[in-house]
Amino acid sequence: MNMEITYKCLNKQIYTDAEFSLVPIRWEDRYKIMQWRNEQIFHLRQNKKLTVEEQDAYFENVISNLFEQEQPDQILFSMLQGETCIAYGGLVHIDWKDKNAEISFVMNTSLESEKFNTLWSVYLELIEKVAFSEIRLNKIFTYSYEVRPKLYPILYQAGFIEKERVLGVIKLNNKSIDGLIHMKRKGDLSYRPVEYSDVQLLFDWATDSSTRNNSINSKEITWGEHVKWFNKKMNDSKSTMFLFKKEKPVGVLRLDEVNSQFQISFSVDRKQRGKGIGNQMIRFIIKKFPENVFLAKVLESNRGSHRIFLKNKFIVDSVSKIGNKIITNYIKEEFDGNY
């Protein structure tokens, strides 16, 4: 069958991140997709195994029609690594009027044990470009049966929140399983570990004059010093850095472990300040590590930081002086689940 493989509803057809790409779903991938769906039937809304005839008919009668439509109800992609299809997914149940869609994703079953995290994370980055930048949706969501414990931390990291829990939607081995809806709105905050390629961005932020003035050591930083410091932090098992993003990177937060307590340092891109991002970053990190004890050192003049730590129930542990700088040392014990 000769399938036209560009979507009329998209200007950009291919979405790439390093060796991975999303391309309009390919006819040649249909049996692989069928196989993966049949292997993973336990988490899909599919009540029996697909046959070759059914899969051919689905591609011929349903999928082939999506490409020509101005507003199809689904936009599906093959996810490739190089030229090999390793997964497939897309936007489904697209509501063009209310500007939202569900996202679906199924990867090659044999990659689930080793590559689950990487492939889901890359896929989410790419499909969000389609959803938010290309067809300008406001909201995307996933619907999953609560049988996928590895999936939820990935969704939280990508900025999704649990929106709804539908009790007992299926029975599995005589156990009642809930359905979970996770949702992300355009512009919601997400985070990922800092990568080596972030070295320049972190230099730009660290050398911003207001960041320097609010640091305990406010001396200028050279590029050479920064690179040395950055590599040391990246290799330090007691240090973790997170990059926070909306559509673009907006801030960075570092945790340094000292005697089983975690010292927080953070900054927000100058252009993004005053929008609640600093506060959200601190909330995220407290929720991610609820059992940690957090510490923070704040200069007297740093009104925004004092406000953020006090709002998040840090308490003043002590006040100290370094040179002529007065520093408030904050501490937060275990998170009780409330703000």
Ligand X SMILES: CC(C)(COP(=O)(O)OP(=O)(O)OC[C@H]1O[C@@H](n2cnc3c(N)ncnc32)[C@H](O)[C@@H]1OP(=O)(O)O)[C@@H](O)C(=O)NCCC(=O)NCCS
Residue 304 is a binding residue for ligand X (CB under 6 A): yes
| Contact call for residues 251 and 236 (beta carbons, < 8 A) | no
Distances in Å between the alpha carbon of 246 and those of 48, 76, 243, 278? 40, 24, 10, 13
CB of 275 to ligand X, least distance (A): 5
CB of 326 to ligand X, least distance (A): 13
Residues numbered 228 to 287 that lie near ligand X (CB under 6 A) are 266-268, 273-279
- Shortest Cβ 7–ligand X spacing (Å): 38
* Contact between 307 and ligand X per CB under 6 A: yes
Which residue lies nearer to ligand X by CB, 22 or 277? 277
Q: Which of 64, 121, 214, 261 binds ligand X (CB under 6 A)?
A: 214
Q: Tell me: does residue 165 bind ligand X (CB under 6 A).
A: no
Please tell me whether residue 302 binds ligand X under the rule CB under 6 A.
Answer: yes
Using CB under 6 A as the binding rule, the residues of this chain from 5 to 44 that contact ligand X are none
| Binding region for ligand X (CB under 6 A) out of 79-87, 171-179, 226-234, 294-302 | 294-302
Q: Which is nearer to ligand X, 140 or 268 (CB)?
A: 268
Could you say whether residue 312 binds ligand X (CB under 6 A)? no
For residue 45, the minimal CB distance to ligand X (Å) is 40
Q: Determine if 209 is a binding residue for ligand X (CB under 6 A).
A: no
3-class secondary structure for the chain?
CCCCCCCCCCCCCCEEECCEEEEECCHHHHHHHHHHHHHCHHHCCCCCCCCHHHHHHHHHHHHHHHCCCCCCCCEEEEEEECCEEEEEEEEEEEECCCCEEEEEEEECHHHHHHHHHHHHHHHHHHHHHHHHHHCCCCEEEEEEECCCCCHHHHHHHCCCEEEEEEEEEEEECCEEEEEEEEEEECCCCEEEECCHHHHHHHHHHHCCHHHHHCCCCCCCCCHHHHHHHHHHHHCCCCEEEEEEECCCEEEEEEEEEECCEEEEEEEECHHHCCCCHHHHHHHHHHHHCCCCCEEEEEECCCHHHHHHHHHCCCEEEEEEEECCEEEEEEEECCCCCCC
The CB-of-301 to ligand X minimum distance in angstroms stands at 9
Residue nearest to ligand X (CB): 278
* Amino acid, single-letter form, for residue 29: D
Q: Does 148 bind ligand X (CB under 6 A)?
A: no
Judged by CB under 6 A, the number of residues near ligand X is: 21
The residue (of 91 and 252) whose beta carbon lies closer to ligand X is: 252
Tell whether residue 93 is a contact of ligand X (CB under 6 A): no
Q: Distance (Å, rounded) from C-alpha 251 to C-alpha 165? A: 31
Q: By CB under 6 A, which span of 42-50, 84-92, 187-195, 209-217 interacts with ligand X?
A: 209-217
Among 16, 46, 65, 210, binds ligand X (CB under 6 A): 210
Are the C-beta atoms of 146 and 178 separated by less than 8 Å?
Answer: yes
In the complex with ligand X, the residue whose CB is nearer, 139 or 313, is 313
Q: Does 305 bind ligand X (CB under 6 A)?
A: yes
State which residue, 78 or 280, has the beta carbon closest to ligand X.
280
Residues contributing to the site for ligand X (CB under 6 A): 210-211, 214, 266-268, 273-279, 296, 298, 302-305, 307-308
